[in-house]
Structure 1
Amino acid sequence: MAPHIPGSIDAQLLGLYLSDHLTGATAGLARIERMAEAFADTPVSADIARVSAEIRRERDFLRGLIHDLGVRQRPYRQAAAWLAERVGRLKLNGRIVRRSPMTMVLESELMRAAILGKLGGWQTLEELAPDLGLDRGTFVKLGDEARSQIEALSRVHEHARRNAFRISRDISG
């Protein structure tokens, strides 16, 4: 059965909802890819790289779902999210050239919150899947993946907060 939006579901509202989630996925992907690059030299780089690859795949899936359901994608929202993510990097953290040790703490917190929001989206789609002609199991799996991503980013956060605020002192002199 091909995906479709039945008359019992508000297609415009669903389209806006999916577009908002695609906007979030676009911004989240830009952020996590930057994290993967910036923190490649850390013990948690494998966790970040895995989450990055999964978010890219999920964003592509969501884009395809929007297309398959025939709702508007609203690309201007994704462009605005991309731009906002880049502007968000221009923060005053007291560091001009190198990254602040606080950056990983904040970014892992931000990404965990974003993934929690994404989990809600997968749960909503799981609920609507039978009406939309979609496989409910797909969204159960995506929800499980989101929970795993939250766990991975919790490990990143643990590593970051253990190291970010400590002042290393040279005790030799």
Structure 2
Amino acid sequence: MTGPLDRALLRTYLSDHLGGAVGGSARFGRMADAYADTPLGPALARIAREVTDEREWLRETAMRLDVQPSRVKRLGIAVAERAGRLKPNGRLTDTSPLSAVIELDLMRGAVTAKRGLWETLQVWQDDLDLDPGRLERLLAQADDQIATLTRLGRIAREQAFVRHARPGEG
């Protein structure tokens, strides 16, 4: 490393990720409920539990490092997460099979970004007095989550684009 840790930048970075963790945890919880009775459900429920645990560890770590989550960012993320549910999907009254594909793609990207947070904390673990074993486990868990979301995305893609007759079609 070329110099000391810039704690002001770290606070901003952790605050941003903490806001993302709150939104991601809410989205995974909603997805686990929405897809509970599908082949996606069990894996999404597991990831939802893991992401909630990770969010709590990040919150505790951020507080220990004197990082206060930004209320404005947290509110913005919550609004964006809810607005994401309102996106047009070509269906007015029912859920489009495309919804699962898009949600899984977005959440895989979010988990990849979260993995970057764990990598950053690993680089500075000594300065921050973080448990290296915990960070290794978080990295491995993120890798597993990415692989699972990739597999679930494949399943969703196989199902989403099959043409089904719609009411009124012959």
Same fold (TM over 0.5): yes
Question: Which residue of structure 1 aligns with residue 83 of structure 2?
Answer: 87
Summarize the alignment of residues 5-44 of structure 1 with structure 2, pairs less than 5 Å apart. Answer: 8-44=4-40
3-state SS of paired residue (1:40): coil
Alignment RMSD? 1.6
| Alignment of 1:161 onto 2:153 | no
Alignment partner of 1:69 out of 65, 69, 72 = 65
Contact 1:105 1:160 in 2 (8 A): yes
Summarize the alignment of residues 21-170 of structure 1 with structure 2, pairs less than 5 Å apart. Answer: 21-168=17-164
Give the whole-Å Cα distance in 1 for the aligned partners of 2:55 and 2:74: 11
Per the TM alignment, residue 72 of structure 1 is displaced from its structure 2 partner at its CA by 2.5
Per the TM alignment, residue 75 of structure 1 is displaced from its structure 2 partner at its CA by 2.5
Per the TM alignment, residue 54 of structure 1 is displaced from its structure 2 partner at its CA by 0.5
Give the whole-Å Cα distance in 2 for the aligned partners of 1:97 and 1:147: 36
- Gapped runs of 5+ residues in structure 2? none
Letter in 1 for 2:119: Q
Aligned residues: 165
Per the TM alignment, residue 100 of structure 1 is displaced from its structure 2 partner at its CA by 0.5
**Which fold has the larger relative contact order, with Cα–Cα distance below 8 Å and residues 6 or more apart in sequence?**
1
Contact 1:39 1:45 in 2 (8 A): yes
Runs of 4+ in 1 over 2 A off after TM superposition: none
Contact 2:43 2:148 in 1 (8 A): yes
Which deviates the most, 161-170 or 40-49?
161-170
Give the whole-Å Cα distance in 2 for the aligned partners of 1:73 and 1:27: 13
Report sequence identity in percent. Answer: 43
- Gapped runs of 5+ residues in structure 1? 1-6
Give the whole-Å Cα distance in 2 for the aligned partners of 1:113 and 1:155: 14
Contact 2:19 2:69 in 1 (8 A): no
3-state SS of paired residue (2:124): helix
Give the whole-Å Cα distance in 2 for the aligned partners of 1:130 and 1:63: 19
Question: Which residue of structure 2 aligns with residue 3 of structure 1?
Answer: none
3-state SS of paired residue (1:99): coil
Letter in 1 for 2:75: A
Q: Calculate the TM-score normalised by the size of structure 1.
A: 0.90
Per the TM alignment, residue 71 of structure 1 is displaced from its structure 2 partner at its CA by 2.1
